Amino acid sequence: MLKIKIEKTAHPKPKPTGPLGFGSVFTDHMFLMDYTADKGWHDPRVVPYAPIVLDPAALVFHYAQECFEGMKAYRTAAGRVQLFRPDKNGERLRSTHERLCIPPIPVDDFVQAVKALVAVDKDWVPAEEGTSLYIRPFTIATEAQLGVKASSAYQFCIIASPSGSYYPTGIDPVRIYVEDEYVRAAPGGTGAVKCGGNYAASLLSGEKAHRLGYGQVLWLDGVERRYVEEVGSMNCFFKIGGVIRTAPTAGTVLPGITRMSCIELLEGWGYPVSVAPLPIEDVMRADEDGTLEEVFGTGTAAVISPVGELKYRDRAAVINGGRIGPVTQRLYDTLTGIQYGRLPAPQGWITEVE
């Protein structure tokens, strides 16, 4: 158990009015905890939201020894505030820390920290349909020296941002560009963890997709550029001839918590789920022979994002007439139902913030 000090702001900010965007308005407080070699992780505290002050030689600015998590707090119709599987974010952060040589934070401490911040800023959890409080835990290397080595000092920080509905005008399928020039991850690299570098590397491809008129990219594997991996910042599922297929996460694909939850729900509903390498040609061939039934991305931001079109080289596959399919819709309704407390949750999926 952390002993978290709470220092409340003397100058609460006005809450945003009007439609909420994503990730640009922040609550009154943040959680901080420091690491040094002699003290370990220490001084956990909730303090007023304030700038981070670092020496220009801090390692985070040079060698990107930094990582993050992404999760949400949801307000139920009854006014309660709840988190969705926060322990899974804690476990993923721990494995990211390990890959980046950052000392671990116990999962229980992580969950406690998230709950402490959300409890203090509870009034910031919005209540309108589809809105939530986006929570961003992140760790940065703070030692000020330029040798390429793991930092001896870190700061773990949690900030939070009230966020609008991802689908303010109803669920709108995205058009996806299959990226076969740039690569997101390769075996032996960092694709399976949530480090900053993965996202910096993806920006150019995202800009290219936008220029070509697509909303996101579908990444192929870094070795053969043949197997489907992820869609932008989401995992990706394909329903082909009745079977629901998704890439294994081993080494190169981020193990999404929404992905994991979808697999568990689908298996519970009796759908055949195949977690195995899936060549993009098989997807395009399924489109040709009419067996490509549904495609969707999964991630905390959108929960479920139906894919309406998939463009690979000179072929554009239009999926289910460009409309959301029934399995996609059922997953969306079920997950959001659980998150907002409208449906009962499987054991351990919901953590209430008192």
Ligand X SMILES: Cc1ncc(COP(=O)(O)O)c(C=O)c1O
Q: Which residues bind its own copies (CB under 8 A)?
A: 22-24, 26, 30, 49-58, 60-66, 68, 99-101, 134, 136, 138, 140, 144-150, 157, 159, 161, 181-190, 195-204, 206-207, 222-223, 225, 232-233
Please report how close the Cβ of residue 122 comes to its own copies at its closest, in angstroms: 20
Q: Which of 259, 224, 226 is nearest to 244 (CA)?
A: 259
Residue 92 or 115 with smaller CB distance to ligand X? 92
CB contact burial 115-149 (16+ within 10 A = b; e otherwise) = bbbbbbbbebbbeeebbbbbbbbbbbbbbeeeeee
Q: Are 40 and 149 in contact (CB under 8 A)?
A: no
By CB under 6 A, residue 257 contacts ligand X:
yes
Taking CB within 5 to 8 Å according to partner kind, which of ligand X, its own copies, none is near residue 256? ligand X
From candidates 259, 317, 327, 351, binder to ligand X by CB under 6 A: 259
Residue 2 or 159 with smaller CB distance to its own copies? 159
Please report how close the Cβ of residue 10 comes to ligand X at its closest, in angstroms: 35
- Residues contacting ligand X: total by CB under 6 A: 13
Please report how close the Cβ of residue 156 comes to ligand X at its closest, in angstroms: 19
Pairing, β 234-240 against β 228-231: antiparallel
Residue 52 or 212 with smaller CB distance to its own copies? 52
Q: Which residue has the tokens 């995202």?
A: 206
By CB under 6 A, residue 85 contacts ligand X:
no
- Structural tokens at position 217: 């990219």
Question: What are residue 315's DSSP bridge partners?
Answer: 312
Q: Are 180 and 220 in contact (CB under 8 A)?
A: yes
By CB under 6 A, residue 341 contacts ligand X:
no
d(CA 57, CA 162): 33
